[in-house]
Structure 1
């Protein structure tokens, strides 16, 4: 049974049984405390916790998930996969234990011919929570399971919580017996390798508090509404139904494994170590493909870092299989073909996805090359110093800064006869992970428990009136101070205010929040920020500037009209720039992020190379032509499918509901799904002036522009600057660039002549410096100040020439000068002096300490400096004393 067929049977069954079929949410989680959708229940958390009223009594879905906690275990077991798909059915106060058990049993045991999954009843076992007599009774009653195949387990295995105070409840898990060749008999409690969990039913019925650990908490009562949260792993069911050993061998994953085998010339199943590498490749390519399809792009932080790590582990695994050339064009295309039946967007968006994948592989192959050079140098230094191990901090630097895998570092070091201080490396990795954990905890603490919004959201969605109105009368539904609801906030306090209606725009879609005020009887609030902490609810962060604001009082939101108008200009201009980019570069130039604020726009788009000046001018001209043409800006609210059918662009990083708002500027030329505020006609934008274009990643570019009055002011400043230059240089405007180029060339030539003259002057000083040579202990010493110099290079040149003149007898040259107001000292030794114990690096450190700075170098030549130029004579005296003491 194909993986896609299993998913279809699941969804068809629950749709037939009255469930609303919900499309998968993005892998990019809405929850700011987690980067990815790590479990099937994540998109439903607002409904399960009651913060947001559920829009349907029951639902079913196939949810895409990414989990990277066990990334090092991928490929080693049958269970660990980075990307996986969870089939779930959900009840929000509709059916409970008996219904959930009945649905699960019927679907699992109904024959394939009748649309079920066709599991043999005798192979199915169940676990229930140790105190859940009701669940055990229902399994016997509904499914006819004998008591011998129902096992009771404790909180560690069969109790679900969020880890926080709130909803919780016992679980019941369904296992399939894979047979005696996979382990011993005795049910899941005896062997969870032979008995494999395929479905978990969570009976969310209690409220808990005082959570001390996963198993230590207090049950404080029943939930007012009992929910069902179930999850069945699609990959697990697939490898059982397909009769293969693990998820890597199923129809959606195995093709990549086979293609990697063909490319490498190595056979899967022939070597245990290679088999792990093949499975890592198959998993990571599919996971990277799905992340790219949801708009994640490779970077050095956050989600992008996880994606980059997956892709680089793939390259590393192919290298260990003997393949050093690029393979992503073939591997990713293979994964696309295996997955597109369930995710057709992989094919329609293939150009963008493949561009990122190919660019990232090319970048990492270059990194491997440069990292190898850095590592070779480190290995060489370690061997010269007669060390047997490479320092852990060097290995960590290669890993953390250059993305160079530790196993590759160990491999190359081993080939050179060195070990790696793995203990020190692992210690640095632990410190880094701990910092990451603390950062994640800090981010969690910084976000108020969304449960605080539950009672406000229960009163309905906040009505946004700002598309048509800049002032709206409403009433205060709630006041929150320091994360807790209060009855009022007084002058000077920072608070969150929840209103029934608002004209103030909440930050979203790249557009920053409105500025403005909220006023009411006896009080005034300055609006600092406007956000949507949970779906459907708008929260205003305010400072109470006058009086006090309390729950239930009247409130009027007043938008800063000037700021709003400028923000609208910028947002509409962003749409025009996007359309102009696609007009000029093609459909591959799709949005990867944006920021719109009053007078300014920033637009990131997928593109692999810098734009030429001519291209930037063309984009700017097309966008401004659209402004000149006074195109009508219209909006429609319609279903997502209708909008897509009309050609509207659904942008990555955005979340869309069943109904969407489509913004047209001049008809289909610019048609996007957008919840932002816009001008009525394009001419209201005024001017769009591109001020920058830069790289923001291997395959992303960024353009920045000023809009409207801000663009006009910038152009005025530039005009004034040009006028000033033409006057100062007495050159017509159209000849200004040539005149500046001529002056620049003349300046460079003059600087070159000056440098040559200074070099001649310095060279003339060599004889006089040689003449100052005097005996100091066992060596001849030249220690002198050379006054003001152009740079440290001048002093270095003098030192080396003087050393050359002193011949082969033991000699040390120490010269110090002042460059750009700061002292610099350079010391050189010849071979005979080094044999007598004179080391330039040690002597420079002696001098630099006196100068109030530091320095270093090799035994034959070293350089240092400091802060106090007046200490140069004392520094040279210190060098003389050190040489005499040899």
Structure 2
């Protein structure tokens, strides 16, 4: 039974049982404390907690999930995957334990001919919470499961909670017995490899507080509404129904594994570590493709970093399988073909997705080449210094700065007969993890518990009337100070205000929040920010400037008209630039993020090459012609299907319901789904001036523009600058570029002549310094202090010039200088000296140690330095003593 068929059977079954079927939410979670949707229940949290009313008392879905906390286990077990799909059915105050158990058992054990999954009852076991007599009785007396196949387990296994104060409850898990070949008998309490969990039924009935750990918390009461939250792993059911060993060999994953086998030429099923690598490739390619399809792009932070890590682990695994050439074009297209039945977007958006994937692979292959060069140099220096271990700091630098994998560093070092100080590397990695976790905790502490909005949201959605007016009278529904509900807020306090209606725009769709005030009898509030903490609710963060504001008070929202007008200009300009980009570059230049505020806009788009000045000018011209044409801007509220049929562009990062707002500029010339505020005609924008274009990733570019009055002021400033230059250089404007270019060339020529003159001067000093050479054992030593110098290059030039004068003699040159308060020493050796075993790098390091610093380099020339300038005579003396011992 194919994976897609299992999912369809699941949805069909629950649809027949009065469940509303909802599409999967994005892998990019709405929860600000999560990077991704890590579990099937994440999108349902607002309904489960009662913050937002559920659209139907019964829901079923197939939810896409990404979880990377067990990434090192991928490929090593039958069930660990970074991307997985969770089948879920939900009851919000409707059916409870008996209903959930009946539905699960019926679907699992009904024959395939009757639409079920066809599992044999004798292969199924269940666990229940240790005190849940009710659930055990349902399984035993109503379902008819034999008592010996019902096991009771404790909080660690059969109690669910979010890890935060709030809802929780016992659960009942259903397991499939894979048979004696997979482990010992005795049920899931004995062996969770043989007995594989496939479905978890959570009976959300308790309110918990004082959480001290996974199993340490207090159940303080019952929830007013009991809910059902179930999750069945689609991949687990698929590999069981398909009779294969693990999820990597199921129909949506195995094709990539097979393609990797073909590319590498290595067998599957013979070498354990190779098998793990094949499975890592199959898993990570699919996960990366699904993240790309939800708008994530590789980067060095946040979600983009996770995606980059998955993609680079794939490249690394293929390298360990003996493949050094690009493989993403074949692997990703294979994954697309395996997944497109379930997710058609993979085919429709293939050009943009593949462009991002292929660019990332090319970038990392270059990184590996660069890192290999740096590693080779570090290993060479380690061997030359007589050490057998590469410093952990060197390995960490390669990993942290260049993205060079530690396992590759270990492998290359071993090939050259060296080890790596893994303990030091791991310590540095742990320090980095601690910093990252602390940063994450810091961000999380700044977030209010969204449950405080439950009662406010229960009164209905906040009405936004700001499209048509800038001022409206409303009522204060609630107040929060420091994240806690209060009855009033007084002068000088920072508070959150929730109103029944507002004209102030909440930040979304790339448009920043409105500025303005909220006034009422005896109070004035300055608006700092406007956000939507939960769907449908608008919260205003305010500074209480005057008086006291209380719950139920009459309040009037007043939008800063000038700021709103400039914000409208910028947002409409963003749409025009998007259209101009697609007109110039083609339909693959799709949006990957935006920001617009009064007078400014930036727009990120999928593109892998820098824009030429001519292309930038063309984009700017197209957008400004649209401004000049005075195109009508219209908005319509339509169904999502109608908007898609009309060709409306969806914006990155936005979540859409069944009804959407569609913004047209010039009819279909620019048509996007957008909740932002806009001008009435394009001519109101005034002017768009592109001021920047840059890279924000391997396959993403960013354009920035000033809009309206800000653009005019920027252009006026540039005009004034040009006027000053033409007057100063006495050159007509049209000849200014040539004049500046000519002056720059003259300056470069002059600098070159000066450098040549200074070099000749330094060379002239060489014979005199060479004459100062004295015997040091079997060698001649020419040691000289230049005093203050501009840079180390000056010291190096003199040292090499003196060495040239000394010629064939076995001689060593040591020249010092003082630059920026630091002593510099350069050591140069003649060929005869090197033939006698003298190495410049060793002597430079020795001298630098005396100066309180470090140094080293090649055998023929090396450099060191330190801060103890007074120790220069001693540094020269140390070199002389070393030569006398040689």
Q: Shift of the alpha carbon at 1:393?
A: 2.5
Which residue does the alignment assign to 2:192? 192
Structure 1 distance, partners of 2:274, 2:859, is 48
Residues 406-462 of structure 1 show CA distances to partners (whole Å, capped at 9, x for unaligned) of 222222222212222333333333332232222222221111111121121122111
Match of 2:310 in 1: 310
**Quick one: structure 1 residues 590 and 835, their matched pair in 2 at CA, closer, same or farther if it must change by over 3 Å?**
closer
Change (3 A) 1:169 1:135: same
Matches within 5 A, 1:458-469: 458-469=458-469
What's the CA shift for 1:796? 2.2
- Deviation of 1:165 after TM superposition, in Å, equals 1.1
| Deviation sequence 1:510-535 (CA, Å, 0-9, x none) | 11111111111222111111111111
Structure 1 position 841 matched with structure 2 position 844: yes
Matches for 1:589-628 after TM superposition, within 5 Å: 589-628=589-628
Shift of 1:60: 0.3
- Trace 1:195-344 onto structure 2 (pairs within 5 A): 195-344=195-344
Q: Structure 1 residues 859 and 495 mapped into 2: Cα distance closer, same or farther (>3 Å)? A: farther
| More displaced 10-residue stretch of structure 1: 273-282 or 711-720 | 273-282
Alpha-carbon distance in structure 2 between the residues aligned to 1:768 and 1:760: 14
Structure 2: how far apart are the matches of 1:504 and 1:64?
Answer: 34
Cα gap change, 1:835 to 1:559, in 2 (>3 Å) = same
- Tell me the CA shift for residue 388 of structure 1: 2.8
Which secondary structure state, in structure 2, belongs to the residue aligned with residue 765 of structure 1?
Answer: helix
Provide the C-alpha distance between the structure 2 equivalents of 1:706 and 1:450, rounded to a whole number of angstroms. 36
Give, in angstroms, the shift of residue 384 of structure 1.
2.3
- Secondary structure of 2:697's counterpart equals coil
SS in 2 for 1:397: helix
Matches for 1:52-67 after TM superposition, within 5 Å = 52-67=52-67
Map Cα deviations across residues 5-61 of structure 1 (whole Å, 9 max, x no partner). 111111011111111111000001111111110100000001111122222111000
Distance 1:413 1:771 in 2: 46
Which residue of the partner structure matches residue 150 of structure 2? 150
State the distance in 1 between where 2:724 and 2:212 align. 70
Partner in structure 2 of residue 637 of structure 1: 637
Partner Cα distance (1:31, 1:575) in 2 = 27
- Whole-Å separation in 1 of the counterparts to 2:846 and 2:181: 73
> Relative to structure 2, which stretch is displaced further, 235-244 or 433-442?
433-442
Q: Distance between the aligned counterparts of 2:876 and 2:805, measured in 1?
A: 20
Distance in 2 between residues matched to 1:739 and 1:265, nearest whole Å:
62
Structure 1 contact 803–813 (Cα < 8 Å) conserved: no
Q: How far apart, CA to CA, are the structure 2 residues paired with 1:26 and 1:91?
A: 21
Distance 2:95 2:696 in 1: 50
Query: Which position in structure 1 is the counterpart of 2:743?
Result: 743
Q: Following superposition of structure 1 onto structure 2, how do residues 284-683 of structure 1 map, counting pairs within 5 Å?
A: 284-683=284-683
The whole-number CA distance in structure 2 between the counterparts of 1:778 and 1:256 is 67
Look up the match of 2:113: 113
Q: Which runs of 5+ in 1 are unaligned?
A: none
Q: CA deviation at 1:255?
A: 0.9
Cα–Cα, structure 1 residues 781 and 255, in superposed 2: closer, same or farther, change >3 Å?
A: closer
Task: Tell whether the 8 Å contact from 1:844 to 1:856 is kept in structure 2 after alignment.
Answer: no
Q: Secondary structure at the match of 1:692?
A: strand
Comparing 379-388 with 543-552, which one deviates more in the overlay?
A: 379-388
Q: Distance in 2 between matches of 1:192 and 1:775?
A: 78
Alignment match, 1:816? 817
Are positions 1:688 and 2:688 aligned together?
yes
Paired position in structure 2 for 1:95: 95
CA contact (8 A) 1:840 1:860 kept: no
Distance 1:468 1:306 in 2: 42
Paired residues of 2:799 and 2:813 also in contact (CA < 8 A): no
Following the alignment from structure 1 to structure 2, what is the Cα–Cα distance between the partners of residues 34 and 489?
Answer: 31
Aligned mates of 1:810, 1:315 — CA distance in 2: 50
- 1:328, distance to aligned residue in structure 2 (A): 0.8
Q: Give the match's secondary structure for 1:291.
A: helix
For 1:141-173, what per-residue CA distance to the aligned partner results, in whole angstroms no more than 9, with x for missing partners? Answer: 432222222211111111111111111111011
**1:699 and 1:768, CA in 2 relative to 1: closer, same or farther beyond 3 A?**
same
Taking the aligned partners of 1:785 and 1:194, their CA distance within structure 2 comes to 77
Contact 1:293-1:345 at 8 Å conserved across structures: yes
- Cα 1:201/1:803, change in 2 over 3 Å: same
Cα gap change, 1:124/1:835 in structure 2, threshold over 3 Å: closer, same or farther?
closer
In 1, are the aligned partners of 2:584 and 2:618 still within 8 Å (CA)? yes
Relative to structure 1, the CA distance from residue 803 to residue 46 in structure 2 (aligned partners, 3 Å threshold; closer, same or farther) is same
> Would you say 1:724 and 2:731 are equivalent positions?
no
CA drift at 1:186 = 2.3
> SS in structure 1 opposite 2:675?
coil
Whole-angstrom CA distance in 2 between matches of 1:214 and 1:769: 75
1:43 maps to 43
Matched position secondary structure for 1:548: strand
* 8 Å Cα contact 1:810-1:836 kept in structure 2: no
- The 3 A distance-change label for structure 1 pair 409 and 840 is closer
Aligned counterpart, 1:712: 712
Measure how far apart 1:482 and its partner are: 1.4
Post-superposition Cα deviations, 1:68-94, rounded to whole Å, max 9, x if no partner, equal 011111111111011100000001111
Question: In structure 1, what is the Cα distance between the partners aligned to 2:310 and 2:614?
Answer: 37
Q: Distance in 1 between matches of 2:376 and 2:857?
A: 20
Measured after TM superposition, the shift of residue 178 of structure 1 is: 2.3
TM-score, scaled relative to structure 1 = 0.95
Report the Cα offset of residue 392 of structure 1: 2.4
How many residues are aligned here?
877
Structure 2 residues not aligned, in runs of 5+? none
Matches within 5 A, 1:28-39: 28-39=28-39
